[in-house]
Amino acid sequence: MEKTSKLEKPPAYDRISDLPDEILCHILTFLPTKFAFATSVLSKRWISLYHSLTFIKFDDKSIEDHDQFLHFCRSVEAVTLSPHVQQKPIKKFYLRCGRYGNWHIPPIDVWIEAINQRGVDYIHLSMNLHRLMPVGDELIRLSNVLFNSQNLVVLKLNNLVLSTKILSVNLPSLKALHLKSVYLEIKDFKKLFSGCPILKELHTDHFYGKWLKLGYEPNLSKLVRASICPFDVPFKAVYNVKSLCILQLDSDHSVDIINSYYKDFPVFKKLIHLEICFRHCDHDWDNLAKLLKHSPKLQTLLIRKRSSSYLTFRKDWENPNSIPKCVSSRLKRCEIRHYEGRNGDLQFARYILQNARFLQVMKLGVSSPSYRKSKIIEDLSSCPRSSEGCKLLFASYGQA
């Protein structure tokens, strides 16, 4: 009997090349742009595929020296300025460029202008605020073209000083604006917000606006969602939202300044979701009570706290003279994260349980040690509930 011959390996077969261009482009979108760019050496077909990408993402976080940064800049220029791509549309553009130091001033304004001409509708630009200082006699500048686009729908700016005065703003399609650690000249605020007539989503965090000194309240009547620090944006500017996140209800300002800011709460007639963060120094229950009073349709309340070891307590929760309308007839869900069972926490949780007639869920993320957790559960489990169907849930902090 003849020995069975060894099976021969089948010839190598390039299955990827048989895929249609649409699928290959979709695969490339999952790669960082610099790796997608590397496929252009494979063949002319891959060059065309790379140039067809509509989501461009560049991040310089791995840059370690001058040569690497120059190579990074050349890669960005190849994508934005090459004559082969000038007629190709771009949908999304993400650029993180914060490691240039004293090496090189990147022509960011030129890149932005180029992608704007290609119809980009999403820009996320992240710089390094502390490095946006003069390098020699130069300073990072952004062209006004960033604020003049018929197509832009989403604009996110992080860690940025806009040193060039904004001459005009015309963003008729902009629906979402995110500003984190951004500095603008005071005179430019009015131009920025008045130039976004259909803005629906606003996020600000450490937005250096000096609103109190400016005395300006932008008309943002189309807003649906907002996430703000109160001293960045006045409450009256976000009165019309359905969802509001207040990143810092407490503050290290003097009591007089805080009271002057909070004295004229608007009525949030459409607000159904409210998220509040106590993250600085004072756990300010009084202003939370005012917010509840001025949010008649509120259905969901989420409170995020820091550990009390980081907080000083101005005043514990005190039951209002009258029950806010949202508590008695609207509130369906209340959640407190980093619940420690201290007087203010316990008094507030009891107040909600005893007065929220339509409450469906009260959820507490407990951060206290296990020997105190059982006491916390006991204290609230024995509390009378106005809503018979209310579920009282406990979770370890981080799972809430």
Q: Is the pLDDT of residue 374 over 80?
A: yes
Instruction: Indicate the average pLDDT of the chain.
Output: 80
* pLDDT tens for each residue of 283-301: 568 788 889 999 999 999 9
70-74, 122-126, 316-320, 381-385: range with lowest mean pLDDT: 316-320
Residue 400 scores a pLDDT above 50: no
pLDDT band at 182 (very low <50, low <70, confident <90, very high): confident
Q: Is residue 136 left, alpha or beta, with left meaning phi > 0 and alpha meaning psi from -120 to 50?
A: left
What pLDDT score does 109 carry? 84
Q: What's the pLDDT band for 33 if we cut at 50, 70, 90?
A: low
Above 60 in pLDDT, residue 383? yes
pLDDT confidence of residue 351: 95
Is residue 147 a contact partner of residue 185, using CB atoms and an 8 Å limit? no
**Per-residue pLDDT tens over the stretch 93-124:** 999 887 665 556 778 888 998 899 889 999 99
The answer to whether residue 134 scores a pLDDT higher than 50 is: no
Judge whether residue 237 has pLDDT over 90: no
**DSSP secondary structure code for residue 135 in this structure:** B
Confidence (pLDDT) at 170: 94
Residue 326, pLDDT above cutoff 90: yes
- Residue 193 confidence class, pLDDT cut points 50, 70, 90: confident
pLDDT at 251: 62
296-312 burial code (b ≥16 CB/10 A, e <16): bebbbbbbbbbebeebe
- Closest C-alpha to 77, from 32, 114, 124, 31: 114
Q: Is the pLDDT of residue 172 over 90?
A: yes
Q: How confident is the model at residue 241 (pLDDT cuts 50, 70, 90)?
A: very high
